[in-house]
Amino acid sequence: MNNRKQRMGSFDGWRYAHRGLHRKPDIPENSRAAFRRAVKNGFGAELDVHLLSDGTLAVLHDSLLKRMTGREGVIEDCTRSDLPELKLGGTQETIPTFREVLEIFGGKTPLIIELKTWKGNAAVLTEAVVKELEGYKGLYCLESFDPWVVLWLRKNRPDIIRGQLSMDFIKERSGLTLPQAVFATHLLHVFITRPDFIAYRFKDRRKLANRFCLRVLKKQGVSWTLRSPGQVRQAEKEGLWPIFEKT
Euclidean distance between CA atoms 221 and 8, whole angstroms: 11
Section 18-36 average pLDDT: 97
Cβ neighbours of residue 172 closer than 8 Å, sequence gap 6 or more: none
In this predicted structure, what is the pLDDT of residue 211?
98
**50 sits in which H/E element:** strand 44-51
Tell me the CA distances in angstroms from 27 to 69, 89, 108, 138, one per residue in order. 14, 8, 21, 24
- Long-range pairs for 72-79: beta carbons < 8 A, 24 or more residues apart: 74/118, 75/50, 76/50, 76/51, 76/52, 76/118, 76/119, 76/121, 77/52, 77/53, 78/52, 78/53, 79/52, 79/53, 79/54
For residue 74, the 8-state DSSP code is: B
pLDDT tier, 247 (very low <50, low <70, confident <90, very high otherwise): low
What is the separation of C-alpha 49 from the centre of its chain, rounded to a whole number of angstroms? 8
Section 71-89 average pLDDT: 98
Section 199-204 average pLDDT: 98
Section 59-74 average pLDDT: 98
Amino acid sitting at position 2:
N
pLDDT tier, 1 (very low <50, low <70, confident <90, very high otherwise): very low
What is the separation of C-alpha 53 from the centre of its chain, rounded to a whole number of angstroms? 21
**In the chain, which ranges are continuous DSSP H helix?**
2-9, 32-40, 66-69, 98-105, 122-132, 147-156, 178-185, 190-193, 208-215, 229-237
For the chain, which residues make up each domain, given as ranges? Answer: 2-244
Euclidean distance between CA atoms 64 and 2, whole angstroms: 41
pTM recorded for the entire structure: 0.97
Q: Are 241 and 14 in contact (CB under 8 A)?
A: yes
pLDDT over threshold 90, residue 2? no
Section 114-137 average pLDDT: 98
pLDDT tier, 5 (very low <50, low <70, confident <90, very high otherwise): confident
In this predicted structure, what is the pLDDT of residue 203?
98
CA atoms lying within 13 Å on the CB side of residue 173? 6
Tell me what the pLDDT averaged over the chain comes to: 97
* Domain 2-244 in CATH 3.50.50.60: no
Q: Looking at the DSSP assignment, which residues form a beta bridge with residue 226?
A: 244
For the segment 38-56, what is each residue's pLDDT rounded down to a tens digit? 999 999 999 999 999 999 9
What percent of the chain is modeled with pLDDT above 90? Answer: 96
Section 124-129 average pLDDT: 98
CA atoms lying within 13 Å on the CB side of residue 140? 24
In this predicted structure, what is the pLDDT of residue 45?
98
In this predicted structure, what is the pLDDT of residue 246?
80
In this predicted structure, what is the pLDDT of residue 3?
86
For the segment 136-187, what is each residue's pLDDT rounded down to a tens digit? 999 999 999 999 999 999 999 999 999 999 999 999 999 999 999 999 999 9
